[in-house]
Structure 1
Amino acid sequence: MTNTIEFFKNAMHVAADIATETIWPTRCAICDAPGMLICEHCLKKLSYIDTYLACPICGAPYGKTQCTECTPLMLASANRESVPFNNMAYAMVADNAVKRIVKTYKDKGERRLAYTIANIASRYISPDWKNDCVITYIPDTIKARQRRGFDHAQELACTLANVAKLDCVGVFMPPKSIDQRNLSRKERFANMSSAIKLAPASPTFRKIIVFDDICTTGSTLYAAADCLRRAGYKEIYALAFGRVLD
């Protein structure tokens, strides 16, 4: 009897999937071609970052020999003297294609892309990071979560943790909503330093990876690292799916 019930449940799920696909066919998040979340053509054209060419300190693409992102001058423009992470990594250059993937996931209801994003990002977690490590995220603001109906950052981080076989933990409070569009680099970093806070009674782990979808200036990730340093964390890593290039 149990097997019969399970059979009919599975059959109903399959029928529901077929009906959904008939009414709302899957389309490529980049070129809108029907059939796949990201078609083979677009997948091959994505701007993957070569870790062998990236800066070993801040993860900036093409910065292995001479990085322009974590120089004393650039750090000073953010009112800093050093990078607050033990190491940082990015999976993709955040060009228009990568931004479309993230936007389609976050704001157009295609939540199946969480696995696609997490699967790509997981390849950039160094084996050196993984021992006794957890993954965390900067939660959506309350308004953003209400607008979308889910916390996109939490879902991404949990999916990444599942792919990487790590635990996902929430240690940050939802940040205040801050408009950074017309601010200078230094102002962005100053703003975010007051917006990111640890949740009360957050546990402390030996290693932690802060995961974000898109890194623009790094102000959000840096503010998160500062919170973790003050809480006593010693090994803090940053990972983002996309890195915006100036």
Structure 2
Amino acid sequence: MPTVKQNNVLAKVILDAVFPPRCLSCNKFGAWVCGECWQKIELIKTPICYRCYRLSSEFKLCPSCHRQQALHRVIVCAHWQASLKKIVYGFKYRRARVVTNLLGGLLSAAIQSIPLAHNNVVVVSVPLHRYRYWQRGFNQAENLARVVAEQNHWPILTTLVRHKPTLPQFGLNKMTRKDNLADAFSLKPGSQALLAGKTVIIVDDIITTGVTLNECAKTLRQGGAKEVWGLVLARA
């Protein structure tokens, strides 16, 4: 009798035959992301401060930016160019979760380039409010975070909660973004014991002004985290 895994493989073969995958970037048949489009993704090879784009060792925030932030550093994997935009859009809004491992692998490779005390790291994702989660059916940041945690053998925590329903940040100016997210995040009871003295890697798909990550970082540091690092695919 076929195993569950064998049945899943068979189902995928049948689905791919009936509904062949098309590249999220160029629409070419054959794969969800074709090799040509994947090669077009421009990785960031020189560490920078994500806020001001000055060169910065190991993606640390430069001194002038760090004074305004609860984040210690933000690791940005790639430039926000056409191929990556389309792939991330498909992943996020067309529910093309089949590319989770590809995108999560990008994040994992980026953070592996920076020295870390691996026994003192935990992974967290930017949470969705429960209503938004219900509408979308999944949290893309959480899916990416699980890949990063698994590939690096780090625990993943679900201690961070978005308890306040907020507007989408896209299209809001900087001050409105801050007001929108003020007091939006909290920690589950007992989180302090899990966060105390830890370096927390908080994962999201993209970053714009950094307000969301910074508000999350404030909450995590209030809960006892030693440092909070952002890990994102790109800055939009």
TM range (shorter): 0.7 to 0.9
Q: Of 170, 184, 189, which residue of structure 1 is paired with 2:178? A: 189
8 A Cα contact 1:49 1:92, kept in partner: yes
Output the TM-score relative to the length of structure 2: 0.85
| Counterpart residue identity of residue 180, structure 1 | Q
- Match of 2:8, SS state, is helix
Pairs within 5 Å for 1:22-171: 22-50=17-45, 53-55=46-48, 58-59=49-50, 63-64=54-55, 72=64, 81-125=67-111, 126-128=114-116, 130-171=118-159
Query: CA distance change for structure 1 residues 200 and 42 in 2, over 3 Å: closer, same or farther?
Result: same
1:242 to partner: Cα distance: 1.6
TM-score normalized by structure 1?
0.82
Per-residue CA deviations over 1:165-216 (Å, capped at 9, x if unaligned) read 2111112113522243453213312332322222233232422101110101
User: In the alignment, does 2:194 pair up with 1:208?
Assistant: no
Give a deviation string over 1:54-112, Cα, whole Å, max 9, x none. 22xx34695217x9x8674xx5xxxx833322222111122332222122112212111
Deviation string, structure 1 residues 223-244 (Cα, Å, up to 9, x no partner): 0111112122112111111212
Q: 1:30, 1:100 within 8 Å by CA — same for their partners in 2?
A: yes
Contact 2:122 2:156 in 1 (8 A): yes
**Residue of 186, 193, 209 corresponding to 1:217:** 209
Structural RMSD (CA): 2.6
2:231 is paired with a residue of what secondary structure?
A: strand
Q: Give the Å deviation of 1:10.
A: 5.2
Contact 2:142–2:203 under 8 Å retained in 1:
no
Q: CA deviation at 1:29?
A: 1.4
1:223-234 equivalences under 5 Å are: 223-234=215-226
Gaps of 5+ in 1: none
Deviates more, 1:198-207 or 1:104-113: 198-207
1:120 partner amino acid: L
Which of 1 and 2 has greater Rg? 1
Separation in structure 2 between the aligned mates of residue 129 and residue 212 of structure 1, nearest angstrom: 22
Q: For residues 100 and 188 of structure 1, what CA distance do their matches in structure 2 show? A: 24
Q: Which runs of 5+ in 2 are unaligned?
A: none
CA distance 1:8–1:233, shift in 2 (3 Å): closer
Q: Residue 166 of structure 2 contacts residue 181 of structure 2 at CA under 8 Å; is this kept in 1?
A: no
Q: How many residues align?
A: 228
Give the letter aligned to residue 40 of structure 2: K
> How far is 1:119 from its partner?
0.3
Alignment check: 8 A CA contact 2:203 2:230 kept? yes
